[in-house]
A and B are shown apart, each in its own frame.
Chain A
Amino acid sequence: MKFLKTSLLVALAWLLQSCFDSDEHIFNGEETVEITVDASLARSMSVLIPSVKADTFTTSDTIFFLTTITPNKIIRVQDYHWLMDGVYCSSEYNFKKQITEPGYHKFTFVLKDHFGDMHYDSLEVWIADPPTLNDSAYVPASGTQAIDPYEAIYFAWSATTKGIQLKHYYHFTLYEQIFANSESDFTPIDTILTEPHYTFHNELNSFKKYDWTVEVYNDYGFTSEQKIESSFFTKGLPGEGSLQTTLSTSQDVAIPALITLQDLSNPDKTLKYNYTLSRIDNKISLGSIPAGKYQLRISSSLTDFKTIEKEVVINDGYITMLDNITLTDSIKPRIASVSGLDSLPFADSLQFVINDAGGVMYSQNISVYLESDLITDKIFKDSILTVHLNKNEQSWAYRILTITATDGSKNTETKSFYILPTTVWFTTNSDTTIASDESITFFINDHNSFGFKVDSLIFFNVTKNERIVSVPNTGTNSFTANLEASLFDEFQTIRSTVLYKNGLSQSKDWNLSITKARAKEDE
């Protein structure tokens, strides 16, 4: 029995001891490792995109929830998971999620370590789509006319953010249209509103166009894709209207323009407006015009621009808006030599006239080529183009000089001239003056070094456009003929030509002047 009692006491002691883990009851701080959790969110897994603790997203965004565990993720843990607004969400360290419920959401990462200690980190997310601005129903409607400039003007529009009640902010602007021919004393409005309407109480100007815009963004900073861009027109005194248009030109630089409005009910009554139009500053307003029917004429003192005419109606209180009008110059520059000839003898300086009635011509818009060689030695001044040629550009053959000129309206004219051969293989007469009672010896002596056979030798009166002498199939390289002065006029240009059997030919022009015999005696 005693043994039984002793055994019971031992068993009792052993069982009680088993309830306590006596080996672990003494805390040793050196054996512990501090555990920290760090949660973050990002728009992608790219390392270039920083992760943050809070951000705003749209319902179509994918949000990446990331966790960093210190010392690492392979420590012994009992549990870890994510909560979204306090409700279980995921049991991954990292996960991605698209949140379709607009509003504020709190995400908490929860980790229970091996010892049962809890570790938390939280993130904040705001979800909303960009606001939608109703850009089809607003007040006043686009193009509204006859707004009284002395009364209040009411602007109203609407915007919503789907699925959530958010505060909206409206960027509202109001500007007066700037015209090329008038100045504006209107102070533009550019403001942020918290209500979707605006009342303008100040005075506007008569017969003006006003542009207004609205953009909206919500409390989460999302901006609407839509934008209201509208305009309205003010009226003026009773019985008057106005006309506005955009006048374009085909030219980059400003040009003078004359606009006339001839009253069709009273042709003697004509309104005239002079403007200088440029490509960017070209919106014009003709101000107050008595209501009625008019013949509109738009022209320019630059005569290459075609005049535009059309009938317009000016209505009482309204601004007549004309579609864009373009004054067009479609006439090319005109190119000619100063002599008027297209075949020119070679010279150190050749001069040409380049005219364009569509504005000023500039040297950089003129190019000159001798065959394929660009000639840069040129001067263009006062419509005269002077081209300088080098001696080494002389040739026994015809050469082609091509001039290209482009005016301010991009009209381009290209014209080619022939440069007469200057190196000839024969000798002939030079410019000669004889008395009317004398004679002259015409001669041609060919001495080409290439051995070309001569086919014909010709003297031609260029001035009278008739042949003087032609020696076909001569078989020789020279020819002479003595001709009396009475056969010729007072002045003529003679062309001596050698035609070779291989098809080549060479010519030289020279002048023959005939003076009166008596005048010679007087000398």
Chain B
Amino acid sequence: MNLFNRSILPFLILATFFGLSLVGCLDAPNDPGALKPVESIRILVKQKESPYSAQLKVHPSDSATLHAEVTPEKYQDDLKFEWFYANEKKDSLLTRGASYTFYPNDDVLPNKLTAIDGEGNRQTQEFNIIVNTPPVLSDSTVPASGDTLYGTSTSAFLFSWYSIDIDLLGNDSLIHTLDIDGKEFEVGSLLQVKQSGLTEGEHKFRIIVRDIYGDADTLSYKKFYVIDTLEAK
């Protein structure tokens, strides 16, 4: 049989093979500029009317909503999301979707997000929700509002206060600022100090307490009076 004498089919087969070989040899890369991959997926949280925040800190008394934010935004709908609670033993799927609303007092809090694209590629992020209660200052202080202190500008006057934070049993700690006449003294975790430098007359002070997550409480200014006992003599 002589195919070459009867048909151009062999020629076409050879030409096709030749064309495919050339394509393989060229191995031209794709234009990188043509690719627009997802740049990032951020996990945000909000409570009540507050805006979404990247600081995954929530107050225990209100429900909170997690949201997976895709950048660029146009790919937001191209991805699917799964929220998990993961521990050493297994991953428990909590819900699917870009957002997930939960109660911070729940025993199970989400800590893992999986994003899935249209081709089934998966990307996983682990995160930690901080359930934090703001510190609270007691209104009872020394000196109390309206107190009169006797001494001199070099006398050491006692300032004391009390603050509480139910998270202190965890990793939280409190930092206090003593504000006397607008001058702030960082006093750390101390609940009382003795300070001098107060001349005769009216003064004011207040206490500000912050926890390590930035939640704070501030007492309003309290007035007190200093009478210079040496001047009086």
Question: How far, in whole Å, are A8 and B11 apart by their CA atoms in the complex?
Answer: 9
- Which residues of chain B in 128-173 are interfacial with respect to chain A, using CB atoms and an 8 Å cutoff? 151-152, 154-156
Judging by beta carbons under 8 Å apart, are B21 and A19 in contact? yes
A521 to B120 Cα, complex, angstroms: 157
Are A141 and B197 interface neighbours, CB within 8 A? Answer: yes
How many chain A residues touch B (CB < 8 A): the figure is 32
| Closest A residue, CB atoms, query B14 | A12
Nearest A-chain residue to B160, judged by Cβ: A154
Contacts of A157 in B (CB 8 A): 186
Let me know if B193 is at the binding interface, CB within 8 A: yes
Contact between B194 and A153 (Cβ–Cβ < 8 Å)?
yes
Q: Which of B22, B154, B187 contacts A156 (CB 8 A)?
A: B187
Within 161-216 of B, Cβ neighbours of A (below 8 Å) are at 178, 183-190, 192-197
Q: Shortest CB–CB separation between residue A193 and chain B, in angstroms?
A: 10
The answer to whether A156 touches B196 (Cβ under 8 A) is no
Q: Is the beta-carbon distance between A140 and B22 smaller than 8 angstroms?
A: no
Q: Which residues of B contact A315 (CB under 8 A)?
A: 230
Inter-chain contacts of B190 with A (CB < 8 A): 154, 156, 197, 199
Which of these binds chain B: A143-151, A456-464, A474-482? A143-151
A38, B192: Cα distance in complex, Å? 56
Q: Are B186 and A140 in contact (CB under 8 A)?
A: no
Residues B193 and A139 in contact, CB atoms below 8 Å apart: yes
Q: Does B5 make an interface contact (CB < 8 A)?
A: yes
How many whole Å from B40's CB to the nearest CB in chain A? 14
Query: Interface digits, A127-169 against B, CB 8 Å rule (1 contact, 0 not)?
Result: 0000000100111110111110000011011100000000000
Q: How far is the CA of A228 from the CA of B39 in the complex (A)?
A: 49
* Complex Cα–Cα for A141 and B181 (A): 15
* Majority SS at the chain B contact face: mixed
Tell me if B186 and A145 are in contact (CB < 8 A).
Answer: no
Interface size range of chain B in the complex: 20 to 34
Query: Which residues from chain A contact B183 at a C-beta distance below 8 Å?
Result: 137
Contact B194 A8 (CB under 8 A): no
- Chain A residue numbers with a CB within 8 Å of B4 are 1-2, 5
Q: Nearest Cβ distance between residue A150 and chain B, in whole angstroms?
A: 13
Residues 1-22 of A, flagged 1 when their CB comes within 8 A of B and 0 if not, give 1100100110010011001000
Given contacts A5-B4, A8-B11, A137-B183, contact A318 B154 (CB under 8 A): yes
Is residue A195 within 8 Å, beta carbon to beta carbon, of the partner chain?
A: yes
Q: Is the CB of B151 within 8 A of A146?
A: yes
Which residues on the A side are within 8 Å of B102 (C-beta)? none
The answer to whether B194 touches A144 (Cβ under 8 A) is yes
A123 and B197 CA atoms in complex are apart in Å by 51
Check A196 for interface membership: any CB of B closer than 8 A: yes
Bound: A392/B154 CA distance, A = 74
Give B192's nearest chain A residue, CB to CB.
A154
A30 and B11 alpha carbons, distance in the complex (Å): 45
Nearest chain B CB to A140 CB, angstrom units: 6
Q: Are B152 and A154 in contact (CB under 8 A)?
A: no
The answer to whether A15 touches B196, judged by C-beta atoms less than 8 angstroms apart, is: no
Tell me which residues across on chain B come within 8 A of A137, comparing CB atoms: 183-186
Complexed CA–CA distance, A305 and B184 (Å): 49
Contact across chains for A195 and B156 when beta carbons are under 8 A apart: no
Best-buried of B21, B151, B154, B178 by chain A (most CB within 10 Å): B154
Within 8 A of B (CB), among A315-351: 315, 318
- Nearest residue (CB) in B for A160 is B186
CB neighbours (8 Å) of B24 from chain A are 19
Tell me how far the C-beta of A139 lies from the nearest C-beta in chain B, rounded to whole angstroms.
Answer: 5
**Interface presence of A126 (CB below 8 A):** no
Residues of B within 8 Å of A143, CB to CB, are: 154, 196
A16 touches B21 (CB 8 A): yes
Contacts of A19 in B (CB 8 A): 21-22, 24-25
- Is A80 part of the contact surface with B, judged by Cβ < 8 Å? no
**Knowing A8-B14, A19-B21, A140-B156 touch, does A134 contact B186 (C-beta < 8 A)?**
yes
Instruction: Answer yes or no: A443 CB below 8 A from chain B CBs.
Output: no
The answer on a CB contact under 8 Å between A146 and B154 is yes
Q: Mark B1-25, 1 if CB is under 8 A from A, else 0.
A: 0001100000100100010011011
With contacts A5-B4, A154-B194 known, is A139 near B154, CB below 8 A? Answer: no
Q: Judge if A232 is at the interface, Cβ distance under 8 Å.
A: yes
Cα separation A195 to B188 with both chains bound (whole Å): 7
Q: How far is the CA of A65 from the CA of B152 in the complex (A)?
A: 60
Name the residue on B nearest A153 (C-beta): B194
Judge whether B21 and A232 touch: CB under 8 Å: no
| Complex CA distance for A154 and B161, rounded to whole angstroms | 14
The answer to whether B189 touches A12, judged by C-beta atoms less than 8 angstroms apart, is: no
- Chain A residues with Cβ under 8 A from B22's Cβ? 15, 19
27 pairs of residues in contact across A and B, judged by CB atoms under 8 Å: A5-B4, A16-B18, A137-B183, A137-B185, A137-B186, A139-B195, A140-B156, A140-B194, A141-B195, A143-B196, A145-B152, A145-B154, A146-B151, A147-B156, A154-B187, A154-B192, A154-B193, A154-B194, A156-B186, A156-B187, A157-B186, A158-B185, A195-B188, A196-B186, A197-B188, A232-B156, A315-B230
Interface residue ranges, B against A (CB under 8 Å): 4-5, 11, 14, 18, 21-22, 24-25, 151-152, 154-156, 178, 183-190, 192-197, 230
A9-B14, A156-B188 known, 5 other contacts, Cβ within 8 Å: A1-B4, A141-B195, A141-B196, A147-B194, A197-B187
CB-CB nearest 5 A-B residue pairs:
A158-B186, A19-B25, A197-B188, A156-B187, A144-B196
